[in-house]
Amino acid sequence: QVQLVESGGGVVQPGRSLRLSCTTSGFTFSNHGMHWVRQAPGKGLEWLALIWYDGSKKFYADSVKGRFTISRDNSRNTLFLQMSSLTADDTAVFFCARDNSIRGIGIGYLYNWGQGTPVTVSA
């Protein structure tokens, strides 16, 4: 079955960087776009970024554009989120999710989600 497992979260000081990973299995990773979504404590869901199946296109929320970079390694079935210049407002649980479109065809919905990895930005 489809599995997505996020890792790399933890406590980080303001201004520092952190890289999250999402290891996947149970589907052909290289066929699907992948998303990152976060949820601050007690708040709603915030979509952050999407990377196409082949990495050729990337889209970001304005709140993270220029600070966060989404990337993927199709040989390792793994998605990444490189986060820099972190502030307390970035404290959240970060989820990765699989887009159901195949090789960019069709409208992509967030079909499967990982359980999330928590990131706390604090001095």
Applying CB under 8 A, the residues found at the interface with other proteins are 35, 37, 44-47, 50, 59-62, 95, 100, 107-116
Angle at 35 (CA atoms; ends 29, 41), nearest 5 degrees: 135
Angle at 3 (CA atoms; ends 66, 31), nearest 5 degrees: 65
To other proteins, the closest distance from the beta carbon of 4 in angstroms equals 9
Q: Which residue, 13 or 107, is less far from other proteins as judged by CB?
A: 107
To other proteins, the closest distance from the beta carbon of 13 in angstroms equals 26
Q: Which residue, 13 or 41, is less far from other proteins as judged by CB?
A: 41
Q: Which residue, 72 or 116, is less far from other proteins as judged by CB?
A: 116
At 31, is the secondary structure helix, strand, or coil?
helix
To other proteins, the closest distance from the beta carbon of 45 in angstroms equals 5
Q: Which residue has the tokens 């199709």?
A: 74
End-to-end CA distance of the chain: 40
To other proteins, the closest distance from the beta carbon of 112 in angstroms equals 8
Q: Which residue, 78 or 117, is less far from other proteins as judged by CB?
A: 117
Q: Which one-letter amino acid corresponds to residue 64?
A: V
- In angstroms, the CA 31 to CA 40 distance is 30
